[in-house]
Amino acid sequence: MSCEEPTTSPTPENNITVVSSDGKEFLLDLKLTEQSETLARLISNFEYDRTDVKKDPVPLGNITSAQMQKIIEWLQHHRYYPKWEQNDIHYSTSFTFETWVEEYLNIPNNEMFELLNAANYLNIPRLFSTICRIMASRITGKSAEQIRTVLNIKTDVKNDVYTGIPIQEDSSSSEDGMSEISLSPSPPPI
Amino acid sequence: MVTTRNSAKLSKWERLPVELQQQVLGSLDNLDRLQIRQVSKEILSVSENIPIVTHSIHFLTTPKNKYFWLNWTDTEGQRSITNRKECKKEKNGSLAVKSLLNFFACRFSKVTQLQFDNIFEIQNGIDTLEQIIAEARGRNIRIRAEEVCLNLLNAVSAPLVIQFFELFDADVLKTLKLVDPPGNVVDAISETEQFRSCSKLSISSAHYDSTPSQHYSLRNMLHFVDFRIRRDQYTAQDLFDLVQSYRLKPLKKGDRLQIYHTTKSSTEEEISNLLDVFPTEPNLRPPSYRINNIRVIFMADPELQLLVQTTNNGVLMRVAERRPLSASLLELY
């Protein structure tokens, strides 16, 4: 899916200012903020969509300027996309992505994790779901051993005390943890 | 559109908050969700509350009944996973039991079809069943299956079958498919909440030639909207009760009841006299077709009609949309 992106420049009437955790200000078109449920609710509560209301800068203490830059890039690309539907089968079950998305998320893991956090904080469901699916696509169809490689889990094999199924014991797990896990559901081995 | 590079790693996964790990793992399909639970105890802990809704679970045994194992199939039926290898190593059946119950340990996990092979037919099947009952009770686990297919051939212990049935979540279970069930066992389980809450029932035979015909009490089955049943005898009163119950139910077009391979313990005349009590309307077919003895009976819903056909060895009732007869057909009556 792709949409044509007419160029528009924010004017004082149709934008708000957000401030990242490192103090950088971003002028954000109100149209873009519709994709963020957090910002949309804030704008609605403070009536920032009215031209006669003074708009104070919105501090986003959990988001760095680099992350904000990245998020604005996402919002602009999806500016004219149809409204997000939570159960849209196109998004919820597919591990196929637009080339633009592939390139957009071709970033180091720690940046992707931070972006997921930011998407969660700003409640941008399309971005959040896309990152989740990009990450899940690296796991799907793999054996348990292959998934351990993907997640870089280096552990010793022990038998689960409850199921008897060989299971990887994380080096960080305590004996208490084992006992708790032993009462939890365990899958059949493949 | 391109597919993402699924060879890429997700190192530093542990830095992601657990809630977000759950969201990522929740994006996987159901069989992958089963798979990830084996990766590590940490992942198991994170994923245990992610529900798995899979199409079918088959609890089956080897041809020589040496051990039980499970097969899971996804919604499309195109992908399945099994734990046969692990169960073969273990052999005492407990792994198959734990695997089955572990699936339902997450109270949001559900299966559309759950099938048990000849678990009642062999001693280690009975032992396995007792393990399932004891462990499910101990862990307070309910089996959430929309449809259960159970081979009850040689099931002699009605109390054991009742205990097993009571493990099912009555709010989820809708369809029963019983193979070769003894009549006394069906009568016994018909008292359970699980049986009473089901809307569909099928009783069939996998050993039609070698198993004796059974008698099932139709009065226990009046609540089903759709059933097929093989039964040895029915009386005119049984049939009357069925028709009476069926015509008053809130049914829909296509619902049906079928009793086949039956014998009647009442005469045709007795049956006919009782069914004549019901208000009928002309058959859509011309009178010359009435050799099949199809009655078109009014239902409580004026938009529907109940077609009741009795033959020498069966009864078929089907709900159809009510359609007025054409003038040319009416003239024939």
Residues of B in contact with A146 (CB under 8 A): none
> In this structure, what DSSP letter does residue B325 have?
P
- Cα distance between residue B192 and residue A110, in whole Å: 55
Of the listed ranges A41-50, A82-91, B228-237, B246-255, the least confidently predicted one is A82-91
Q: What is the mean pLDDT of chain B?
A: 83
Q: Which residue has the tokens 């093989």?
A: B230
Residue position matching structure tokens 């077609």:
B307
Q: Over 80: is that where the pLDDT of A67 sits?
A: yes
Tell me, yes or no, whether A57 and A108 share the same domain: yes
What values do phi and psi take at A14, rounded to 5? -115, 30
Q: Do A152 and B40 touch (CB under 8 A)?
A: no
- Interface confidence (ipTM) of the complex: 0.77
Distance from CA of B66 to the nearest CA of A (A): 19
CATH number of the domain bearing residue A25: 3.30.710.10
A165 with A74, same domain?
A: no
Q: Look at A134 and B2 and tell me if their CB atoms are within 8 Å.
A: no
CB pairs under 8 A between A and B: 195
The answer to whether position A41 is within a domain reads yes
Q: Do residues A130 and A58 both lie within one domain?
A: yes
Residue A2: inside a domain:
no
Closest residue in A to B138 (Cα–Cα): A183
Q: Which of A106, A121, A147 to mutate to test the interface with B (most CBs of B within 10 A)?
A: A147
Place of tokens 């002699």: B156
Q: What integer pLDDT is reported at residue A118 of this predicted model?
A: 95
pLDDT in tens, B39-57: 888 888 888 788 888 889 9
Q: How many CB atoms lie within 10 A of CB B157?
A: 15
Task: Compare all CA atoms of chain A with the CA of B8 and give the residue at the minimum distance.
Answer: A138
Assign 3-class secondary structure to A55-89. Answer: CCCEECCCCCHHHHHHHHHHHHHCCCCCCCCCCCH
* SS3 at position B38: coil
Residue of A nearest to B79 (CA): A141
Same domain, A62 and A151: no
Tokens for B53, please give them: 């809704």
Question: 3-class DSSP state for residue B69?
Answer: strand
The residue among B162, B152, B165, B74 whose CA lies nearest residue B111 is B74
Closest by Cα among A97, A107, A55 to A77: A97
Domain span at residue A89 reads 12-136
In chain B, which residues have their Cβ closer than 8 Å to the Cβ of A97? 1-4
Reported as a single tens digit per residue, the pLDDT across A12-56 is 668 889 999 999 999 999 999 999 999 999 888 888 877 777 888
CB contact under 8 A, B20 and A172: no
Measure in Å the smallest separation between the Cα of A176 and chain B Cα atoms. Answer: 12
A7 belongs to a structural domain: no
Distance CA(A86)–CA(A93), nearest Å, equals 11
pLDDT tens-digit readout, A135-179: 999 999 888 888 989 998 876 555 443 344 555 445 433 322 222
Residue A65 CB contacts under 8 Å (≥ 6 apart), including other chains:
A20, A21, A22, A24, A26
Nearest to A75 by CA among A115, A124, A120, A121: A124
Same domain, A175 and A97: no
**Closest chain B C-alpha to A7 CA, distance in angstroms:** 24
Q: Which two structure tokens, joined as six digits, stand for B247?
A: 């015509």
Do A52 and A94 share a structural domain?
yes
Task: Please indicate whether, in this complex, the C-beta atoms of A136 and B70 are within 8 angstroms of each other.
Answer: no
Residue-level pLDDT at B248: 86
From B117's Cα to the closest Cα of chain A, the distance in A is 19
| Chain A residues lying within 8 Å of B81, measured CB to CB | 188, 190
Task: Give me A15's structure tokens.
Answer: 């934008």
- Among A93-97, A115-119, B97-101, B324-328, the minimum mean pLDDT is found in B324-328
- Confidence (pLDDT) at A136: 93
